[in-house]
Amino acid sequence: MVKDTLGVALGDLRPTQITVGYHEVGTKRQEWRSADKDGRVSLLRSHVIPAVLGPKKRIYIVDHHHFARALLEEGAPYAGVYIIEDLSHLEKDEFWIFLDNSDWCHAYDEKGQRRRLSDIPKRLVDLKDDPFRSLVGQLIQIGACAKSEKPFAEFIWADFLRRRIDPALVKEDFSAALLKAIELAGSSQAKSLPGWCARPS
């Protein structure tokens, strides 16, 4: 089922993951803030948010969490959403199990630890910061790794980096952490990750 739904209030959207990268959200906020009216229309059209209908017809987004959070923080009232599946007939526990088994939710916290499905927040504003997810966003932006269609590929990369870069470095010197991440992204250690780009010899 694919159904266009335009102008959904951002406050009505529910997340299907626990974290986002606040640095990446900040980048998207700046992009929105610096765009004129036509530019903002273009951003909205290029970031139509896929979602599923859950119990009580609530709308759960399954991608573009960073963009949605950025719009919310910028005070934008609405976002474009399209419904890819109507699961409103399922009970709450059935719904979340269905999402989990369909790779439509990601119940891992900012330390990369698996949590209960019930720990996924109900509001975009309650998404926690995973600085390593922000590092991955920058790696993709500069071409150090490729964006992948594999579900939650960025979080796979984030977990890879989390095991190899001191969290204190990411918090205290993001630029230095990014240089380390670039080095790791091109190494053979990362060759099994989705979107890996071998470092030129």
pLDDT at residue 68 greater than cutoff 70:
yes
9 CB neighbour count, 10 Å cutoff: 12
CB 14 within 8 A of CB 123: yes
Does residue 3 have a pLDDT over 80? no
In this prediction, residues 79-90 reach a mean pLDDT of: 95
Give the mean pLDDT of the chain. 94
Q: What is the pLDDT of residues 163-174, one digit of tens each?
A: 999 999 999 999
Whether this prediction's pTM lies above 0.85 is answered by yes
Cβ-contact 181, 161 below 8 angstroms: yes
Query: What domains sit in the chain, N to C, each tagged with a CATH number?
Result: 3-129 (3.90.1530.10), 131-190 (1.10.8.10)
**Residue 97, pLDDT score:** 98
- 54 contacts 14 by C-beta, under 8 angstroms: yes
Q: What is the pLDDT of residue 5?
A: 59
Rounded distance between C-alpha atoms, residue 144 and residue 123, angstroms:
32
- Is the pLDDT reported for residue 1 higher than 60? no
pLDDT band at 7 (very low <50, low <70, confident <90, very high): confident
